[in-house]
Amino acid sequence: MLTSIRRLGNSHGILIPKPLLLQVGLVDQAELLVEGDALVLRRPKATPRSDWAAASQRLAVSGDDALAMPEFANEQDAELTW
């Protein structure tokens, strides 16, 4: 697909058709890099643990949030006063 490079303030840019953005899953952000003589636009890599809060909420709603290992006390805890 041939597209025009347009002046945008002090920079330049292109318009990307919505069907192309949807096809590769670009929504709000994109990673832009140079590979050889090509500009490459990619979906940003997910940050580690970025979806943990949502996953925890789904587990709690489903009732599948029990401890993987039951709580256990140390032998010395019997002598402690709480």
At 20 the pLDDT is 92
At 8 the pLDDT is 92
At 19 the pLDDT is 93
CA dihedral 51, 54, 57, 62 (to 10 degrees): -90
- pLDDT mean for each 10 residues of the chain (82 residues): 93 94 91 95 84 88 81 76 74
At 67 the pLDDT is 79
At 79 the pLDDT is 78
- Note the Cα 44 to chain centre separation in Å: 8
Each domain of the chain, given as residue ranges in start order, spans 1-65
| Best CA proximity match to 31, nearest among 47, 17, 43, 46 | 43
In three-state secondary structure terms, 50 is: coil
At 71 the pLDDT is 75
CATH topology of domain 1-65: Pemi-like Protein 1; Chain: D (2.10.260)
The DSSP letter of residue 63 is T
Q: In angstroms, rounded to a whole number, what is the distance separating the alpha carbons of residues 35 and 22?
A: 23
